[in-house]
A = this chain, B = another copy of it.
């Protein structure tokens, strides 16, 4: 079946992420208040969905304290802006080995392996409309680090999300993650309309060249909704790739902190750039209510 351009596009803004970016750019939001405001700013700029992590308000380090998520969510919900809230459920799957000659015992500094229920504590507490499910295990560019999400963990987390009425957004960092997502769908753990984020160019997952991207898109079931992004050099260009391939757009400081070479971006500016590209391509930007309808989300 041919790929067809998406003419009604929603934008997700991933406002802060878990990466070591707060030291590089002071535009990366850190406190719950800053993160909520970034989400509101992104929504005003055209994002229908805001994807949030939380950070230690003191250090800026990645965090997963449910109280922090609660504050972010409360602030966004009590604002005058309507936006679909999408919280990460990726935290708590961090393994760091002891080194190349002594992989075990694990390195305590950096290892954070939580059980499924604990990883979803903030999800059951905040009941966002969407939460993410990092659909596999892989290396990142950090030397001894593993993002660890085993098949059984993914099944259990997927089941809990579905039971909570929170739509899982499958994060597929490589072609095998997408394959496993189809397995989850076959097992009935995730339900139609399935939502998937193709996370391209994240070392050492799938590179973001168009051949690889299209191979993934060609493997998507027709009933699924997808979005895509790339980090780094091609981040600004990926909204175009996603739309051309029939998908939706994700931008934000989680994925890219630059507006142009050497110029730090705000979340709002990155959303504006995406709007500029998507509308320039002749597609329309859709809002949160339209997204809820398409993805059958339960608004709280």
Contacts and interface: CB of A to CB of B under 8 A. Distances in A.
Contacts of A204: 136, 151, 176-177, 179-180, 183
A141 to B, nearest CB: 7
A209 interface: yes
Contacts of A78: none
Contact of A237 (B106, B183, B222, B244): B244
Contact of A206 (B148, B176, B221, B236): B176
A260 B284 CA distance: 11
A277 B175 contact: no
Interface stretch (A37-45, A62-70, A109-117): A109-117
B215 A4 contact: no
A79 interface: no
Given A103-B114, A139-B150, 6 more contacts: A136-B204, A139-B149, A141-B151, A146-B148, A209-B219, A212-B216
A115 B103 contact: yes
A239 B276 CA distance: 13
This chain's copy number in the assembly: 4
A240 B139 contact: no
A13 B206 CA distance: 28
A10 interface: no
A23 interface: no
A150 B148 CA distance: 12
A226 interface: no
Nearest to A273: B280
A203 B179 contact: yes
A262 interface: no
A274 to B, nearest CB: 8
A229 interface: no
Interface stretch (A25-33, A48-56, A93-101, A188-196): A93-101
Contacts of A212: 175, 215-216, 219
Contact of A137 (B118, B139, B206, B280): B139
B152 A146 contact: no
